[in-house]
Structures are given as structure tokens and as C-alpha cells.
Amino acid sequence: MQRRALIAATALMPLAAQAQGIPGGFTPQNPECIAPAAPGGGFDLTCRLTTRMLNETGIVTQPIRTQNMPGGIGAVAINHINAQRRADANVIVAVSTGSWVNMAQGRFGRFAENDVRWIGAIGADYGVIAVRRDSRFQSLAELMAALRADPASVPMGAGGAVGSQDWHKAALVARAAGADPRRMRYVPFEGGGQAMAALLGGHIQVFPGDASEVRGQFEAGEIRLLAVLSAQRLPGALAQVPTAREQGVEVDWPIVRGFYGPPQMPDAAYNFWVEALRRLQANPAWPEARAAQGLFEFNLVGAEYAELAKRRTAEFRQLAREVGLVTQSQ
């Protein structure tokens, strides 16, 4: 009798939910991933890589389309979600550490970390502190000492202006050295490629870049890495580079890539997407697909991911206040 009842109950479940094996019975209808930028770049990669693998692995059987929604590096997307789709069960939005920085500085208008439901991460890149191979700085400790003595004596540069992700890496290192980030000599560039050229040309002395963008020059012996800004050493080519934490500097900079959902997304839908990412992370095809796009493992979903997003946004907001990027009231 119990067996027949179980079979009958299973037969009533949506076929797609059975195929996906995700409990709860929710099945997305015309699911969509919003990439808050033009095609190409990190947001677009986050959507297209994840949706392709969710479909190819059969974790989600309905085709997931990607919609590009550029504007304000995420501002247009979060305003669209909150204004028109607050309870949409079928949409997820790509997000990154840069989005948390923008939220902290009020660049998304009145919307911030409590106006979305944080679903999960799919991977991360990590910050690095790079110098030329013949740099006067042989260690992170030597760089910290120079910053402590005179922050303006060390020309640093990276992609983005004051307040950007790369600027934050330099500012956190300077602050850890006991220096005022407002006194840093920071040179903004249009991107990591220009900053690397400036480093190799001797126009700047330090490049607070990303692991993925410096790997080629590091393997060629053109630069040295004083530290990776990760909690543990990175695998592969950078395995011999010590973390900042190993050297007594409590600075991490994961460039986390993941997703949020609308603020009133139903619990059944939220749990569906959280479980979908959890199963993707456990799928044997995922590590190779992720690594091919220059991403390292970073597996946080649901409540743990939400805690990280809110905590880091609050930290960025505090730093922005300290250096005058936002007022104390923001």
C-alpha cells in the first residue's frame, strides 16, 4: 500500500521536476538569466557559462535564455527587477564583487544588498599584488613598509578609477600597512592590459590586478607576484605564490561571480535555483568548464552566500566612508 501511494505521489510531480531531481515541485517557465552588461565580459560569461552547463547536465531541463541589460554596471538591472519583477520566480541576475562595491557607494540608487535574494556563487578570480621582475620590492613586507612611511612614494595603477575594484585592493593593502588610502599615488587605466603595460614600462611600480590577467606575464618571468589575495594558495601556476594572510596581512580579494533573484521571489523558486547551483558545483563536468573560463572554485550558495554578500558590502561601505567616497549618512 505504501509503495503504491509513493508511486502515485511521484506520478503527480511535474515531469521536469522528476528529471531534474530537485525537490519541491517547482518548475521554471521560460527561465531567464539577466547579464547586466553588453555581450562579452564577466556578467555575460557568468550567465552563458552557467546556463549552458545547467542545461547540458540536465540539472535544469528548460532552456535558459540570457538577456543582456547594460547600464550602470548593474544599476539598470537591479532597478528593473525591483520595479517590474519583484516576485518573478523565473529570473536570475548575474552579479559580482564589483556589484557589491557599487551598492556600497550608492551607485544603484536606493537599491542595495537587502533588495535582492542572494542565490549563490559559481566561481571566483582573485586579486594579486604584482611588481616588475626587477622591482625594489622583494616581498609584501617591503611594500607595506614603504606605504607606511609614505603612501605617495609608491605609484600604483590598475583598471578603473578611485573607488573601483582594483583601487579597493590597493586601498586595503595601504590601510593594512597603517597608511591613509587617500594619500596613495594611484593611476587609473582603461583596463588591466594598459596597467600591465605601464608596470612593464616602469611608469608604475605596483599593479593590484587579477590572477587571470597576470598569469601569462608571470609564467613568462616578466613580473613577480608579492601575494595572492585569497584565503588559501591558488592551484596550478600560482601555487608557489604566498597569500597575503600567510605574510601577516589580513587582506582577501575574491572577485566572486554568482547570482541574485528578485526580492520577493517565492521560497520554492529560490530553493530551486539554490539547489541547481549546488548540484552544478558537484557535477564532474563543472570544474573543467569553469577553469576554461579562468575561474577558480568558490562554492557558496543560499544563506552562506547571502551572509558573504551583505558582509562584504558593509565592509566596502565602511571603507568608502573612511576615504570620503560616500557620506556618513549613506
Annotate 85-120 with DSSP letters as a single string: -TT-SSEEEEEEHHHHHHHHTTTTTT--GGGSEEEE
- Name the β-bridge partners of 117: 261
Q: What dihedral angle (degrees, nearest 10) is formed by the CA atoms of 152, 153, 157, 163?
A: -20
**pLDDT bracket for residue 12 (50, 70, 90):** very low
Q: In this model, does residue 82 exceed pLDDT 90?
A: yes
Query: CB atoms < 10 A from the CB of 237, how many?
Result: 12
Return the higher-pLDDT residue of 8 and 29. 29
Mind listing the pLDDT tens digit for each residue in 173-212?
999 999 999 999 999 987 788 999 999 999 999 999 989 8
Rounded distance, CA 160 to CA 310, Å? Answer: 23
What is the reported pLDDT for 15? 37
Mind listing the pLDDT tens digit for each residue in 227-261?
999 999 998 889 999 999 999 999 999 999 999 99
300 three-state secondary structure: coil
Rounded distance, CA 306 to CA 265, Å? Answer: 14
Instruction: State the helix-helix crossing angle for 140-149 and 165-176, rounded to 10 degrees.
Output: 80
- Which set of grid coordinates corresponds to residue 48? 552563458
Query: CB atoms < 10 A from the CB of 330, how many?
Result: 12
Q: In this model, does residue 152 exceed pLDDT 90?
A: yes
Size of the chain, expressed as the number of residues it contains: 330
- CATH class of residue range 126-253: alpha beta
Fold match between 2-124+255-322 and 126-253? yes
Residue ranges covered by each domain of the chain: 2-124+255-322, 126-253
List C-alpha distances in Å: 289 to 6, 57, 256, 285, 294: 37, 12, 17, 7, 9
What is the reported pLDDT for 325? 85
**pLDDT bracket for residue 11 (50, 70, 90):** very low
pTM for the model stands at: 0.78
Cell 502515485, residue located: 8
CATH of span 2-124+255-322: 3.40.190.150
